[in-house]
Structure 1
Amino acid sequence: MDRRTFLAACAAAGSIGIAPRFAWAQGSHKPVIGLVMKSLANEFFKDMQEGAVKHAQERGDLTLIPVGIQSETDIDGQIAAVENLITRKVDAIVIAPADSRALLSPIVRAMKAGIKIINIDVAFDPASMRKHHVDIAFVGPDNRAGARLSGDVLAKALGRGGKVVIIEGNPGAENGVQRKLGFTDAIAAGGLMLIDSRTGHWETEEANTVFTNMLTAHQDIQGVMAANDSMALGVVKAIDAAGKPGQIKVVSFDNIPAIQPLLKDGKVLATVDQFGAQLAAMGIDNAMKEIAGQHLTGWIKTPVKLITGQSAG
């Protein structure tokens, strides 16, 4: 998506899932913060946007511009969003990058323009940051530890020797990498057998197709570790379509509202809450600290919580 296309899409706003903008009054002295998220088709980012807007309103000392993209892999859309925010001369950008490497170049351009940057949810690649000679503060959870919590539930349910597969997130996103590592940690500790691992790029329908193909190739699958709830929804749909409800156990990550009924009826054993709304709020708060003159670096860790059928809301 080029900049002209992006700006035209912004005018249409809801037509491609881009959140309405909050225009700031001419002459206003409130700092302006752009929040760049991933796909607003994912309930996790819808919740993040709602939490961010509410937090900005409660603070009352800033103007928020929330932006989403068409799909989890719409890297060009995120790049266009960052470039648009640079043109609008915002004071700070809070970003959950769709790709941990590809988004760094436009973010470095924003930094050179004097814009403060806070990275949330998906960490920028450390090697790429060293290459660009930047150290951007990351506000986010321990994805590896969280995935391990979820994976351990599956390991306990299946016992040693259980045959499992992983539905991975976007391989270009650091949180996807870390969640796969957490799942493999649980597999090793629990003595499970990993028989396949493929990406669903965070998307429900793609995960449905990927797992349907896995079932054809491996009819003895006993468990699935999905790197987010959106993909878990696609996996459960495939299990039901194959006539195997209850026969294949699923664990996941994110705790979106749509996963709650599946937790309660046992179609999903566990997920992990990383508190997306609070995550965005913390990103905004830390961006305001940067605007005020603080220089933040390193990892500002946020909590994760295991959610099962017993603890689901």
Structure 2
Amino acid sequence: MPEITSRRGLLFGTAAVSAGALLTACTSNEPSKEKSDETRPAADDKPGKHVTIGFAGPQADHGWLNAINENAKDRARTYSDVTMEVTEGSNDTAAQIGQIETLINKKVDVIVVLPADGKALTQVGLKAMRAGIPVVNLDRVFNTPQAYRCWVGGDNYGMGFNAGQYIGEQLKGRKNARVVELAGIDNLELTRQRTQGFDDALKNYPNIRKVARQSADFTVESGQSKMAQLLQAQSHFDALWNHDDDQGVGALRAIDQAGRDEFLMVGGAGSLAAMQQIKQGKGVLRATVLYPPTMAASAIDLARALGQGKGIGGLAETEIPTSITLYSAVVDKHNVDQYMPTGFK
């Protein structure tokens, strides 16, 4: 999952504004021949100057990362005035630097990049900007804002805070409530931010105590093994927050194998499978907190606007902003139908 800056820009919900104003595309792992009205450019957003966008995305070794790539490609297809040069997805820093240098040499109009490592790719971002090619930095942030024209990404602290607040509201009438946390990879800043947000939210509920925390690796296998350890160590608790819906698949397997159902579970990121389970209302999973991969579709919108010298419809500014932070909405049975189209596989 992505690393994130503490920088806070404009706040946009996951259902953000219209095509010229960053309407996000529905997530699909299979390109659809017939796009819904939500995925088409707005009717008044007429084709303009042709823009070639270079896209350097991640290796799709995780459901969320695959959704990033698909959102970008699907969004570009909705524009008759956009051509996208797509590099082979890579989580190797050296390989991705080489791919971006190739895009620079091809003189694309704009580059959209989700860096394998923001710090390590800062210099190639600077190289593109100095070559006169605007960079849209997606999620994992470069070390300096000089390396990008606009950053767009998720809110890890807000994700943790909203998860904690949701759990707090569900348990606020329960005395001596106990919660546990299945975190992501501890050496990532995003994991620390999610945990900090969660802990800060729980401070508002003095009846709740976090009794255990285990870190996993954002994989099904790690989710299952680490959740099994939590279940063995804690004979009873009232709520679980799991940072990632992919590792949550394994966590739910461990929960089923242990025959435990005395607690509610809140997931993270917003996978389609998680939303389907929430809608069914069976089992412990009651909600998931979004980290929307639709940010990649918004990045394409931004890149097109940059290439055409446009601002964002609905805002007074004639230039696009330098930073956009997406909102981490909580999805439960009450609003799951609204967010189901954004769920990733």
TM-score when normalising by structure 2: 0.67
Cα distance in structure 2, aligned partners of 1:219 and 1:101:
42
For 1:51 and 1:38, how far apart are their aligned partners in 2?
A: 12
Distance, in Å, in 2 between the alignment partners of 1:285 and 1:303 is: 18
Give the partner amino acid of 1:312. V
Indicate how the Cα distance of structure 1 residues 36 and 242 shifts in structure 2: closer, same or farther if over 3 A, else same. Answer: farther
Equivalent residues in 2 for 1:1-313, closer than 5 Å = 30-66=50-86, 69=89, 74=91, 76=92, 79-89=94-104, 90-120=108-138, 122-124=139-141, 128-129=143-144, 134=147, 136-158=149-171, 159=174, 161-171=176-186, 173-191=188-206, 192-244=208-260, 246-263=261-278, 264=280, 265-277=282-294, 279-292=295-308, 298-313=322-337
State the Cα deviation string for residues 208-259 of structure 1 (Å, max 9, x = none): 2222223333334432211221122221111112221x22321122221111
Q: Percent identity?
A: 24
Question: Per chain length, whose mean CA-contact separation is higher, i.e. which structure has more relative contact order (CA < 8 Å, sep 6+)?
Answer: 2
How high is the TM-score relative to the length of structure 1?
0.73
Superposed CA offset, 1:163-222 (max 9, x none): 222222344555434322221122222232223334323222222222222333333443
Bigger helix fraction: 1
Contact in 2 for aligned 1:34/1:93 (Cα 8 Å): yes
SS of 1:252's equivalent in the other structure is strand
Deviation at 1:286, TM superposition (A): 1.5
Deviation at 1:283, TM superposition (A): 0.6
C-alpha distance in 2 between matches for 1:198 and 1:176: 12
The alpha-carbon distance between structure 1 residues 186 and 66, as it changes in their structure 2 partners (threshold 3 A), is farther
Query: How far is the alpha carbon of 1:271 from its aligned partner?
Result: 0.9
C-alpha distance after superposition, 1:129-179 (max 9, x if no partner): 27xx54652213433223322222222334453222222234455543432
The whole-number CA distance in structure 1 between the counterparts of 2:187 and 2:304 is: 29
* Cα deviations by residue, 1:101-148 (Å, 9 ceiling, x for unpaired): 34434433444454422122x3426xx327xx5465221343322332
What residue ranges of structure 2 are gaps of 5+ in the alignment? Answer: 1-29, 32-48, 311-318, 338-345
Q: For the Cα contact (< 8 Å) 1:152–1:186, is it kept in 2?
A: yes
In 1, Cα distance between equivalents of 2:320 and 2:335:
35
CA distance in 2, matches of 1:114, 1:44: 31
Alignment: residue pair count: 275
User: What CA RMSD, in Å, does the superposition of the two structures yield over aligned residues?
Assistant: 3.2
Residue 281 of structure 1 and its aligned partner are, at CA, apart by: 1.9
Deviation of 1:62 after TM superposition, in Å, equals: 2.0
Secondary structure of the corresponding residue to residue 289 of structure 2: strand
- Aligned-pair distance for 1:285? 1.9
Structure 1 residues 183 and 68, CA, compared in 2 at 3 Å: closer, same or farther? farther
Deviations 1:257-309 (A, max 9, x none): 111233132421211234423x2121112223333457756422334422112
Amino acid corresponding to residue 62 of structure 1 in structure 2:
V
Code of the aligned partner of 2:253: K
| Secondary structure of 2:212's aligned partner | strand
Residue equivalent to 1:6? none
Contact 1:91–1:116 under 8 Å retained in 2? yes
Q: Secondary structure at the match of 2:262?
A: coil
Q: 1:26 aligns to what?
A: none
Contiguous gaps of at least 5 residues in structure 1: 1-18, 21-28
For 1:197 and 1:79, the matched residues in 2 are separated by 34
